[in-house]
Chain A
Amino acid sequence: MKAVSDYKEIVPKKKWFETIVVRVFFFFIGMGMQTAYRIDPDVRKEVDSWPETFSFCMSVVGGPSMLMLKKAGSFQYLGEKETFYCDVEMCFKNITFAYLIMTGRISVPNAIYHNRQFVKGSLNYGMSIIRVMNIVQTLLLPNFLARFYIKKVPKLTLKKLVNRAITYFNIGYGVIK
C-alpha cells in the first residue's frame, strides 16, 4: 500500500506545440485583418460600421491572444498585447480548441455552436466580426483550404489573388498600421 506522502502533485505538460501554432495563426489573422481593411471593400464596410476606437480581441484562456483596434482611420493589429479593456473579446476555452479551429479541424461557426468559445462584451458586433474573419480567411488561404474554416467560400478572382499577395507581403514585412 502506498503511503500518503507518495501521492504527489501532478503537473500536466504544457501544450507548447499547439500554443505556437495558434500564436502563428493569430498573427496571420491579425496582420491579415489590418491589411484587409485597407484593400478589401467588404471588410472596410464592416469595420467602418463599428464605432471609432472599437477594440476587439481574440484569445485563449491563459494562452496567446491578438488585439485589433480601430483608430484614426486604420484598423490596427496591436499584437499579443495584454488588454485590460476591450469592447469585444472572443475567448477560446482551451488551447486545444483554438488549435483545432486554427488548423481547420473545427470550423469557426462550429466552434460557436459547440460553445467552445465565449464572448466578453457586447454581442452586437459579433456577427460583423465573424464576417470580417471569414473574408480575411479567404484572403489568406487558398480556396481548397478555406473550405474547412467557413460556411461559404466565395469565387476566386484575379483581384483576390493580388490582394492575397499584398497581404502576404505585409505580413512578412510587418508593416505598421
Chain B
Amino acid sequence: MGEAKEKEVSNVKEKNLPEIIGSSNKVLEVDLTTRTSTVYQVTDEERRMYLGGKGLGLKLIYDRMPAKIDPFGKDNIIAFMPGVLMGTGAPCSGRFSAVTKSPLTGIMDHASCGGPFGMSLKTAGWDGLLVKGISETPVYLVITSSGVEFKDASHLWGKDAFETQDLLGKNKNAGAAVIGQAGENKVLFANIVSGKRFLGRGGMGAVMGSKNLKAIYAIGGAYKIVAREKEKFDKIKKLATKRINANSVTSDMLRKFGTDNLVTYTNIAGIMPVHNFTSGSSENAYKLSGEYISENFNTKHHTCKPCTILCGKTGKFNGKDLSVPEYETVGVMGSNLEIFDPVLIAEWNDLCGRFGMDTISMGGTLAWVMEAGEKGLVKTNLKFGSPEGVAEAIEDTAYGRGFGQEMGKGSRALSQKYGGEDFAIQVKGMEMAAYDPRGSYGVGLNYAVANRGACHLSSTVMAQENFVHVLDPYSTIGKHVWVKFFEDFYCAMNSLHTCTFTSFAYILENPLTKYSGLFYLKLVMGYLYPLATKIADISIYHKFWSTITGMKMSRSDFLRAGERIHILERYMNTREGITVKDDTLPGRMLKEGRKNDPKGRVVPLEKMLKNYYRIRSYDENGKPTEGIMKKLSIAVH
C-alpha cells in the first residue's frame, strides 16, 4: 500500500510547471499522407456528452470517417485518447483508450491500456491524438507540447516491440506506443504496445502497420494537470483509495495474485476453457492460479502507472524476468490448449508481447488449428496438450510465414476457408476470452451483443455470477438488465478513463452494499434488478469527472453518456453491416454442452437477446431505433 501511494505522488508532484486546469480539450490531428497536422478544440458540449477517452474518440471518428471504408486504407483513423482522470493522480488512472476500425472484425474497435504513452501524451498537453492517412515509408511520430514531428523509422522497422521502445530512448516523461513485427505484417490481431502493456484486441497494431507507422513517441512533462475543484476532488480521491484498500478483491486477491487468482473461481464454476472450450475445468488448473504462480515464480508488482490496486506482475520464469500472463492468457493459451506449465505460457506470452500480438486471439486461433488438425480439416503438427510447435507457430504468425499467414487472419477466416465454424470460438470475428458462457449465461449474452465482438470487458457479469456469487449463473432472469447496465457504465468508465477493477471496490465497498447480508444482496440483485441498477453506488466515478472538469454531472447524466457511447458504437457497427444475425455465439456454445457438465447445458441466448433488444431499443434487425438516437441526441449520418 505504501508503495502505491509513493507511485501516485511521484507522478503528479512536478514543480512549477504550467497547469492545465481540468482538461486542455486540445486534440492533435495528424495526416500521414500529407505529413501535416491540425489542432481541434473539443467543445464543452462534446465533453459533456461523450466524457473523454473512448466516448470522445468514437465521436471524433464518427464525425470524420465515413462508413464502409477499408480498415487498412488511408481513411481509417486511429484515435489515442487519455481521459480527464489521467494526470490528476486519481487511483488507477494510468489508463488511456484507443479507437479505430478493426481489420479483424471490420467494425469499430476500442481498447484500453495502462502503458506510459497515455500519461506522456496528456502531460504534453493533448487530450487526444487522431492519426489518418498512409505514409509512403516507415515513419514514427514524436509528439511534444508544440506538435508533431515525422521521423524516419527505417532503423526501427523489423524490430520487436520491446526493442523498438528501447531504441526510442528512455526519458522519465516520455512514453511510446509501438508495434512489433506482427503489426508490420498486418496480422489481423496485432496489438499496440506501450511499456509492457497493450492496446490488445481487434488488430490496432495492424492498422498502424498499414499506415507504415512504427511508433508514436510522446514527450510529456510539459504541464501539470489539476482538478478544477481541487478540494472536492481530493476528498473523493481519498474515499476511492480507502475503498480500494478495504475491498478484499482489489486489496487482496488482485494485488497479491493478479488476475490469475480468478482461475480458482472459473475452474470451480466450470467456465475455464479446456480443449478449445469442450470442457470447463481441469484437475491441473491450480498450476495456472495466481496463488501457485506467485508461490513458485517469485512475482513482483509491475503495473500501470499510477495504480492503487496493482494487479500487474512480473516473475522469474526459468531464470528470465517475464511478465506474468494475465488470466485470459493462461486460460486461452494454457488450459484451452491443455498446457498447464506456467513457464511455457509466460514464454509464449512474452513472445506475443514482443511481436505485438493479442494473446487471446492467438490462443483461440491456436486452439482452432489444434482441433481442426484433430478432425483432419487442416494438416498441422500442433496438438492439444503438447507444447511442440507452439512457439514456432506464434513466430510464423507474426511474420506471416507459411501457414502462419493464414493463422494471422484469425479463427473466423480459417474456419470459413477450411470448415469447422462451430468450433471457431469467436463472435463477429473476435476470439472469445477465457470464460465459458455455458456456465455463466449473462456472459453469453454479453459476448453476443458486445460491440467489438466476444469481449469479456464490455460487461463483466461473470463476476456477479461466479466470483461474488450474487447472481445465479444458470438463470436468465434479469441478465439483460445487468448486461445493459454494465455496458453503459463501463462505456462511461472507459471514457473517464480508469481501470475496470476499481468497480469492485467503489461499488461493493459502499456501506449499504457492504453491510447488507448476502441474502438481501442476492434477493435485490437477482430479482429486484431494476431497483438494484438504480441504487448501485457509482458516485465516485461521476464525481471524479465533475470535480475535475468543473461541469455538473449527475449519476443519470453519467449513465446516459455511457449509453450514448454504447449506442453510437452500435450504430456505427450497423452501418458496417452488423445485424441481429451477428449477435450470436459460436455453434459450440449453442448446441453442445461442456463435456464435464452432466446436464449438457447450452446458452439460452434467444430469450435473453429478445429482452435485451427491448430495453436497448434496438429494432428487430438490431439497429438502434430512431427514437433512442434522438433521445440520446446522436446525429444520424
Seen from chain A, the residues whose Cβ lies within 8 Å of a Cβ on chain B are 52-53, 55, 67, 69, 71-74, 78-79, 81-86, 173-177
Contact = CB atoms under 8 A, between A and B. Distances in A.
Given A55-B264, A85-B282, A85-B285, A176 B252 contact: no
B518 A85 contact: no
Contact of A84 (B281, B289, B295): B281
B185 interface: no
B252 A81 contact: no
22 contacts: A52-B295, A53-B292, A69-B264, A71-B253, A72-B252, A72-B253, A72-B256, A72-B261, A73-B248, A78-B469, A79-B469, A81-B268, A82-B270, A84-B267, A85-B267, A85-B268, A85-B270, A174-B517, A174-B518, A174-B519, A175-B517, A176-B518
A55 B439 CA distance: 18
Per DSSP, chain A at the interface is loop
A177 B469 CA distance: 11
Interface residues of B, number: 32
A71 B285 CA distance: 15
A68 B417 CA distance: 47
A84 B439 contact: yes
Given A85-B283, A177-B248, A71 B264 contact: yes
Given A73-B252, A174-B519, A55 B268 contact: yes
Nearest to A171: B517
A84 B518 contact: no
Contacts of A83: 268-270
Contacts of B285: 85
Interface string B556-597: 000000000000000000000000000000000000001011
Most buried by A among B270, B286, B474, B519: B286
Given A71-B264, A176-B517, 20 more contacts: A52-B295, A53-B286, A55-B268, A69-B268, A71-B253, A72-B261, A78-B469, A79-B469, A84-B281, A84-B439, A84-B597, A85-B267, A85-B268, A85-B281, A85-B282, A85-B283, A85-B285, A174-B517, A174-B520, A175-B518
Nearest to A175: B517
B248 A74 contact: yes
B342 interface: no
Contacts of B334: none
Nearest to A78: B469
Interface in B277-302: 280-283, 285-286, 289, 291-292, 295
Contacts of A67: 268
B521 A176 contact: yes
Given A72-B252, A72-B261, A84 B519 contact: no
B436 to A, nearest CB: 10
Contacts of B289: 53
B102 to A, nearest CB: 33
Most buried by A among B252, B264, B281, B439: B264
Nearest to B284: A85
Contacts of B519: 174
B336 to A, nearest CB: 15
Most buried by A among B267, B289, B519: B267
Interface in B425-456: 439
Contacts of B264: 53, 55, 69, 71
Contacts of B291: 52-53
Nearest to A81: B469
A50 B267 CA distance: 18
A164 to B, nearest CB: 19
Interface string B91-133: 0000000000000000000000000000000000000000000
A6 to B, nearest CB: 33
A13 B248 CA distance: 45
Given A53-B291, A69-B264, A72-B256, A84 B517 contact: no
Q: Which 7 A-B pairs have the closest CB atoms?
A: A84-B270, A174-B517, A174-B518, A84-B281, A85-B281, A174-B519, A53-B264
